[in-house]
Structure 1
Amino acid sequence: MLRWIIFIILYIALGVYTLQALRAVTRFPWVYFAYMAMSLLVLGNFIYQFTLGDNPGRVLSVPKSYAFGFLLAMLSFKAITIIFLFSEDIFRFISALYLKINGTPKFFNFPERRRFLSVLALGIAALPFSALLYGMYRGKYNFKVLRYNLEFEDLPDGFDGYQITQISDVHSGSFDNREKIEYAIDLINQQKSDLLLFTGDLVNNKAEEMLPWKDLFATLHAKDGKYSILGNHDYGDYVEWDTEELKRNNLEQLKDLQQEIGFELLLNESRYLTKGNDKIALIGVENWGRGGFKKAGDLNKATAQIMEKDFKILMSHDPSHWEDEVLKHPYHYHLTLSGHTHGMQFGIEIPGWIKWSPVKWRYKYWAGVYEELGQMINVNRGFGFLGYPGRVGIWPEITVITLKKKPLT
């Protein structure tokens, strides 16, 4: 309760401070009242959804996600405005102090706020505010197909030109638009890939989240099959279960759902894919992540039935596994496919110019293709979304990878 009281006081204080910029820009009272009403409505909805709503507690429902999203947009607007106002107030204080010391005014008076600076502050603050609202309205379903041609010297000849579609981080419990998901499923099938690989996080927390979408995902197809692994959210670790048995049953239900959809779930296992006399090894490990995430992945167990010389494709949900274990493993993993980061669902990407997201401060390998020690990884930006119900600049991704035989020089 104390945390809520402190949060409410801080939120209202920030709102009152931001109101000073509006007062400097316009003299229409209805603008002030509209701002205050919207600010309080966002706060009230957030408190309601996280305390008295239909789904209180840690589990994120769609209404709770939107409540968080609107709060995030409002806080970003206030924070940026306050940065300008606070900077100006420091200057105003120094100016008033200087004049007082020199005996110019009889009393200690602050100079008036400069209207131009308030207009600038509100204008800049409106950019992330609008972007976050757009991200919730359209950005989260702005699916992009990203294509990569990856060359390997020791790729078996039969797999030259072999096409793989990768999706990751579905987070079906966050979906709220069936038409958009139907479009995305059709987009995946339009790629007509040889292989479809899903690299974890089918749900946010509970297997039941996937039930409304099971029939759609069952229509996914690829010539040589569909394979999947588990992500950290698939284990139900972020739910306060009444009993351990309920948690175990939830995981078993999710495994059954994957089978019903048509995915072959690899749990620290491997399979051979063949083309004539040529073959490549497909390996799938359970989740392994640093920083408190579940470490159920076992590379040695997963590769017990394959040979060191085999061409290998590894599915591992968290890219920190590649950095911490895969690269150091005695076996050479030609290509690893991961997800997990979502690109933080926020950033700036202009191909060939800039690729930036705050998530880079946590994950060295956070989006796209990287190469280290002659081994490659693709970190998929995610199909769905979690927490903030939107995406800004980092769009939902369908990856299409074509394996190519590197010409001998």
Structure 2
Amino acid sequence: MEVEKRMNRRSFLRRLVAGIGGLMLLAGLDAFFIERHMLRRQDVTVPLAGLPDAFNGFRIAHFSDLHIGHGLAADDLESLVQKVNSAKPDMIVFTGDLVDDGMEELVAAAQVLSRLQAPYGKYAVLGNHDVRGHVDPDRIIKAHQDAGFIPLVNRNLTIRHRTVDERLIVAGLDDYWRDPDWEAAFSGIGKGECVIALIHEPDLADRAKEYGVTLQLSGHSHGGQVRLPFVGGVLYPPYARKYPDGLQRVENSEMLIHTSRGIGTTILPIRFLCRPEWYMLTLRKK
């Protein structure tokens, strides 16, 4: 009887190990081959104090972190373009990291992204992967322009409503790793303006609130890229740990931040329980 118990125990342990191994294999296959290609739209309502009446219901398509060259090619952007254009946003913003190792795909990527359309324009900022190592930031900015995006590098622009005399301010900060000029990015903005700031690293929101920003749009975190039940994101990069995902209120302020989980990948070309996402943000007057 004792021998039979030991055999049953060993059989159970072998089955348990085999089951865990099988689950790990399936998870790995999903993360590498399936989930990272399952682009989805997320709709987010953003209540803003001080939003001009004419912009109530204004819709912004927000995407981030393409990382062209790291498991994502220019042709893979076709799905994003089709989905965003079908949604007919008022404005489109891209919050950085156009490339990873894909400088040779810049021209092709710009051609695909040039088909994105929005009546109030398209705006982009640089991410940390756009300014480091072998990457030439000037070439990234040129690709933004070729794609029809207005690069916002330490500057801001006024977005005027087409029918009434009301406006939004859209500001963009250079990437943190290039020592951005905060004063230039937010210069000339009057008190009480509704300011939307594009800043790649989300945790910079704690400083952005000092400049009267109403809403910050960011990326960089990838949502952790690999997420576990009851745990969430496994690993977040520096400056993406305090406000890593979704819509949040910035500490000790009325300012909001929306952080994108991004579309591409870095380090490893995998996503697990963290599908690539783009967002339709609908602004509502609070």
Q: TM-score by structure 1 length?
A: 0.63
Selected match of 1:202 from 63, 86, 98: 98
Question: What do you get for the CA RMSD once the two structures are aligned?
Answer: 2.2
Bigger RCO (CA 8 Å, 6+ sep): 2
Match of 2:244 in 1: 366
CA contact (8 A) 2:68 2:101 kept: no
Match of 1:223 in 2: 119
**Distance in 1 between residues matched to 2:72 and 2:178, nearest whole Å:** 31
Match of 1:313 in 2: 196
Alpha-carbon deviations, 1:263-292, whole Å to 9, x = none?
10010000011112111110000112xxxx
**Distance in 2 between residues matched to 1:379 and 1:202, nearest whole Å:** 16
Matched ranges for 1:137-216 at <5 A: 137-176=33-72, 180-205=76-101, 207-216=103-112
CA contact (8 A) 1:203 1:234 kept: yes
> Is 1:266 matched up with 2:152?
yes
SS of corresponding position for 2:167: strand
Selected match of 2:232 from 330, 353, 356: 356
Matched AA of 2:260: N
Matched AA of 1:379: T
1:178 Cα shift? 6.2
CA contact (8 A) 1:132 1:391 kept: no
> Is 1:279 matched up with 2:167?
yes
**Distance in 2 between residues matched to 1:295 and 1:397, nearest whole Å:** 27
**Distance in 2 between residues matched to 1:368 and 1:140, nearest whole Å:** 18
Structure having the higher Rg: 1
**Distance in 1 between residues matched to 2:121 and 2:60, nearest whole Å:** 10
Alpha-carbon deviations, 1:69-91, whole Å to 9, x = none?
xxxxxxxxxxxxxxxxxxxxxxx
Aligned residues: percent identity? 28
**Distance in 1 between residues matched to 2:237 and 2:144, nearest whole Å:** 33
Alpha-carbon deviations, 1:108-160, whole Å to 9, x = none?
xxx98823113212212322321121121111111111111111231111111
Match of 1:51 in 2: none
How many residue pairs end up in the alignment? Answer: 274
Choose between structure 1 and 2: higher helix proportion: 1
> Is 1:394 matched up with 2:280?
no
Alpha-carbon deviations, 1:202-248, whole Å to 9, x = none?
0014633323322211111111110000000001x234xxxxxxx6x
Matched ranges for 1:7-406 at <5 A: 114-176=10-72, 180-205=76-101, 207-235=103-131, 237-239=132-134, 250-275=136-161, 276-288=164-176, 294-323=177-206, 325-327=207-209, 329=210, 331-348=211-228, 356-359=232-235, 363-372=241-250, 373-406=253-286
1:355 Cα shift? 7.4
**Distance in 2 between residues matched to 1:116 and 1:361, nearest whole Å:** 40
Change (3 A) 1:125 1:364: farther
Choose between structure 1 and 2: higher strand proportion: 2
Comparing 209-218 with 187-196, greater Cα deviation is found at 209-218
**Distance in 1 between residues matched to 2:18 and 2:107, nearest whole Å:** 44
Matched AA of 1:171: H
**Distance in 2 between residues matched to 1:176 and 1:153, nearest whole Å:** 38
SS of corresponding position for 1:196: strand
